[in-house]
Amino acid sequence: MGHQISSAVRAWFNDGGHHHFVTLTKSLRAVSTAASTHDRNAVLAAAQTLQDDTATARAYTSFPDGQAAASWNRALALLSRSANGIVTAITTDDVELFGTAITDIPASFAALDSALARITRLARHAR
């Protein structure tokens, strides 16, 4: 059974999961970089891209391992909450909400790293 899960994890990763990790990481970095420049329009555009990329990743097939799926879903939830909060904060001029949404970024990076570490461990066993 372990080999079957490992093979399923490897397939999930190779057939599109890796692409989603890379895309989400790039989008999250774009939000972080834009926020550091204090360019409101750049932050808004980057957060909207992150919203789209998160929605696309959520639509991707379910993850075949429960623990890794929980990490992946936690990362997606944080990314979505952060992106949605930033977009809402900028479009409504809500400084407090913006501050809250921005603080989700480090946790989002950590959740993505955790999910990737679990997936990598599982995929290694599928040789």
What tens digit of pLDDT does each residue of 71-117 get?
Answer: 888 889 999 999 999 999 999 999 999 989 988 888 888 888 888 88
pLDDT tens-digit series, residues 7-59: 888 888 889 988 998 999 999 999 989 999 989 999 999 999 999 999 999 99
> What token pair was written down for 39?
């360019």
Place of tokens 């391992």: 65
Beta-carbon neighbour count of residue 86 at 10 Å?
27
Can you give the pTM of this predicted structure?
A: 0.86
- pLDDT of the residue at 84: 96
Separation CA 83–CA 52 (nearest Å): 9
Count of structural domains, the chain: 1
What CATH number is attached to the domain comprising 84? 1.20.120
User: In the predicted model, is pLDDT for residue 62 greater than 80?
Assistant: no
pLDDT tens-digit series, residues 106-126: 888 888 888 888 888 877 765
> What token pair was written down for 15?
């057939």
Domain carrying residue 77: 2-124
Place of tokens 């696309």: 56
